[in-house]
Amino acid sequence: MSVQALKRIVAVATLAALPLQAAAVAQELTQPLLKLTAVGGIDYLPELFEETVAPEPVVAPLPAPAPVKPVVVKPAEPQVRSVSQGEASWYGPGFFGNLTANGEIYSPGTMTAAHRTLPFGTRVRVTNLWNGRSAVVRINDRGPYVGQRVIDLGHGAAGELGLFHSGIAQVKLEVLQ
């Protein structure tokens, strides 16, 4: 006898047992409706007749997402193209209002400098070797033309580097990309 035939027999037997009283139905819901010991010489095998239904998976709610923290990106340190050392000086109040070699008006507080050969607009990190202070300047003028000086600093840069009183200092120049 085939499995299909056995399933039909169980279905018919189940339908015949349906008109039970309500109280008996409630009690029997936990009991099998029909027990077969043998059908056509085959012992009852529950796995042939019972459909296995997988229980619904219990899905826990997802936790609330963590607040998004802004990413702070530090600007990359400019790369150094070349390094040199020498003496620096600064030029100040007597030159305020004059034009620099690239046509800008020289004014107080500028973070600019004069150099003999670097192109206008070049940025240079100048470090005072006597006190360790440094500043980044932009080349906008030509000079210095006194002795062996390598750079002439604008008013703001001289203040940052602590050159107001001494007037000159040994410096390291780092030409930046």
Claim to verify: residue 100 and residue 166 sit in the same structural domain: yes
- In the chain, the number of structural domains is 2
Q: Name the residue range of residue 87's domain.
A: 80-176
Report whether 24 contacts 30 (CB < 8 A). Answer: no
Rounded-to-integer distance, Cα 74 and Cα 17, Å: 80
Claim to verify: residue 35 and residue 85 sit in the same structural domain: no
Give me 27's structure tokens: 């009690």
Give me 67's structure tokens: 């607040």
pLDDT, one tens digit per residue, over 55-95 is 777 778 888 888 888 888 888 888 999 999 999 999 989 99
Report whether 89 contacts 166 (CB < 8 A). Answer: no
The CATH number for 163's domain is 2.40.40.10
pLDDT, one tens digit per residue, over 134-145 is 999 999 999 999
Claim to verify: residue 89 and residue 37 sit in the same structural domain: no
Claim to verify: residue 14 and residue 86 sit in the same structural domain: no
Residue 60 maps to a domain? no
Asked if residue 61 has a cis previous peptide bond (ω within 30° of 0), the answer is no
Give me 93's structure tokens: 């109040």
